[in-house]
Amino acid sequence: MKRNLMRLMTVAGIGAGLALAQAPANPQAPAQQAPMHRQFRGHSRQKMAEKLNLTDAQKAQAKAIFQATRQQTEPIRTELRQNRKALSEAVKSDNKVQIEKLSRSQGELMGRLMTARNESRAKFYSILTPAQKGKLEQLHSAFRQRMEQRRAARG
């Protein structure tokens, strides 16, 4: 009995030590690692560049186009974040007037963001060769088909 109690206490002590043990905080870690959506976006752009067989010059142009758009839309995206927070508070307080006003504002901001993004896509499309444009259309068509299949599978 005494031996079993000692074993139990030893196992419990080791388990508690493991449960409480933590790796030291690394304040550099978040800055070093990009968020998952950015990693995915970078990976998907790289795959797209490979599939379209972009030249180095086209890759550089595309990167410049999309970076410029990202910088241009930063104020809009910041305003969208602030608007979403305010909208959330308006919903919690059941302020119908604020909900309507902020919803309208949210729609307008999303429209401006979509316009900027689509303009950058148009600039990107203009740097492609006719063969690359055809390949891009095939890729988009295949993507739309996969999305339709997923929607149909969900019911």
Counts for the chain of helices (H) and strands (E), in that order: 6, 0
C-alpha distances in Å from residue 131, one per residue of 52, 67, 85, 135: 9, 25, 45, 6
Give the pair of three-digit tokens for residue 83.
Answer: 């608007």
Please say whether the beta carbons of 123 and 63 come within 8 A: no
Residue 30 belongs to some domain of the structure: no
Q: Which domain holds residue 122?
A: 56-128
Residue 139 belongs to some domain of the structure: no
Residue 60 belongs to some domain of the structure: yes
Quick: pLDDT tens for 12-41.
555 555 544 444 445 454 445 556 666 666
Quick: pLDDT tens for 115-148.
999 999 999 999 999 999 999 999 999 999 999 9
Q: Give pTM, 2 decimals.
A: 0.67
Residue 43 belongs to some domain of the structure: no
Quick: pLDDT tens for 89-98.
999 999 999 9
Residue 78 belongs to some domain of the structure: yes
Residue 39 belongs to some domain of the structure: no
Residue 134 belongs to some domain of the structure: no
If residue 58 lies in a helix (H) or strand (E), which one and from where to where?
helix 56-92
